Amino acid sequence: MALHELIYVSLADHAMAADELCALLTQARAFNRERGITGLLIYRNREFMQLLEGERDEVMALYEHIENDPRHRQVHRIWDGPIAARSCQHWAMGYAEPSDHAWHALPDGRQVLDDGLFAAGRSSAGKRLLLRLRDDFLSSASV
């Protein structure tokens, strides 16, 4: 079983209301459970940053689907590669929408607030930010 991780950023085609995000998460969680994919999604001001993990073929197929999904624009892969173990094994899709205060507490967090997730995701800070948010989320979440 070769596990793989992929992190990407994208722009939503429109600002998503809470009910739209809820529907998206419900759909993604069902889809991911069927395919053994886990991960974490972050949304802020029309921008997505997501970590996906699972079997390489399943992760890459999902990423290709996301690239072709009309709800996503300018999909940009930050990182992908093999992993020894899942970090989000309890979540078909965890979700975080950090407050401005939470962003300020992160290294490079002010840059994210100023430039946005998409811009930060295209720099080396993107992966570090998402992994830090994942770690913070893991330490505070009840799974």
CATH second-level architecture of 3-137? 2-Layer Sandwich (3.30)
Q: Where are the domains of the chain?
A: 3-137
Which tens digit of pLDDT belongs to each residue from 90-111? 888 888 877 777 777 777 777 7
Q: Are 78 and 8 in contact (CB under 8 A)?
A: yes
d(CA 108, CA 95): 21
**Nearest-CA neighbor of 27 among 95, 78, 73, 77?**
95
Query: Residue 142: what pLDDT?
Result: 42
How many other β-carbons are positioned within 10 Å of the β-carbon of residue 90? Answer: 11
Would you say the pTM of this structure is higher than 0.85?
no
Which tens digit of pLDDT belongs to each residue from 11-40? 899 999 999 999 999 999 999 999 999 999
